[in-house]
Amino acid sequence: MSKNALTMQLASGRSGVGQSQHFKDGVFQNTIYDSAESKGKLVNYYAGTGADRWRIATGDATAAYRYFDEGTGAWQPLLDSAIRTVAYLKGATDNDPAVVFIYDYAHSEQPRTWELNFHSLTAPVVTGNSIRIKTANRRTGAEFFTCIDYHGPKGSFTGITKLPDTKDIPEPMPSNYVVTQWHTRFRQSAESKYFYALTVIRENCPADPMARSPVGVSLPKNARIEATVDGKNIVFNQGRVDF
């Protein structure tokens, strides 16, 4: 399971507009414009040692959220700011589940309808602002659930789509191994100049969708979001992380 980029829906109704977009004849194309000009930068990084199980990185992708206008030959900005932090809390032992926090902050002078995109190998089950994904270990066959919890502006999971199967699989899987993927989108209910949200990914979560999450998240205050796990707090605020 992976979490993909922040995108947006335009006033025209076109959704999924994001990084390195190709613009031609007055229309955003379905393809990206492959160029090194679409880039980001690492703004902070932390790797705990010993009993410290945190791994944290923050990236600034503002320069990636631009579009290439084929008519003028120039890059134009889509956003004024696009920052993402990924914080990984490793399980206390190899058998304990990990928790991943993905914090997004973005700003645009033009109001946007913001979207978050998710990929999974099986069809997700939506319960409110959470989705559960059933996964099987490819080698042992053991089944488990991964839960994804969204905390941010009001919206809903929508657009659950089965993607075309792919056979482009690296070793050690056999060449005839086919992967089925699903795409799920969370779309904000109303346009806004700002977007800030925290997505929590929990390994080995309970099969019961109503089971209480061991991760607590405070209601967002402007761009500041605080989470609690294992009795400890972690605070995300644009490009800053405190824990």
* Residue ranges covered by each domain of the chain: 45-61+81-242
Chain centroid, CA 129 distance in Å? 14
Query: Which band of pLDDT confidence, cut at 50, 70 and 90, is reported for residue 3?
Result: very low
Annotate 4-40 with b (16+ C-beta within 10 A) or e (fewer). Answer: ebbbbbeeeeebbbbbbbbbeeeebeeeebeeeebeb
Distance CA 65, CA 117 (A): 15
pLDDT digits (tens, 9 = 90+) for 149-206: 999 999 999 878 887 766 555 555 555 566 778 899 999 999 999 999 999 999 888 8
Tell me what pLDDT residue 169 has.
Answer: 54
Residue 102 has pLDDT above 60, yes or no: yes
Listed residue (9, 123, 129, 24) closest to 68, CA to CA = 24
Rounded to 5 degrees, what are φ and ψ at 192?
-155, 150
Distance CA 110, CA 114 (A): 12
The answer, yes or no, to whether the previous bond of 111 is cis (omega within 30 of 0) is: no
Kindly report the number of other CB atoms within 10 A of residue 162's CB atom.
10
Residue 92 has pLDDT above 70, yes or no: yes
DSSP string, 211-242: SPPS-EEPPPBTTEEEEEETTEEEEEETTEEE
What mean pLDDT, rounded, does the chain reach? 86
Annotate 183-204 with b (16+ C-beta within 10 A) or e (fewer). Answer: bbbbbbeeebeebbbbbbbbbe
Query: Which band of pLDDT confidence, cut at 50, 70 and 90, is reported for residue 217?
Result: very high
Q: Report helix, strand or coil for 113.
A: strand
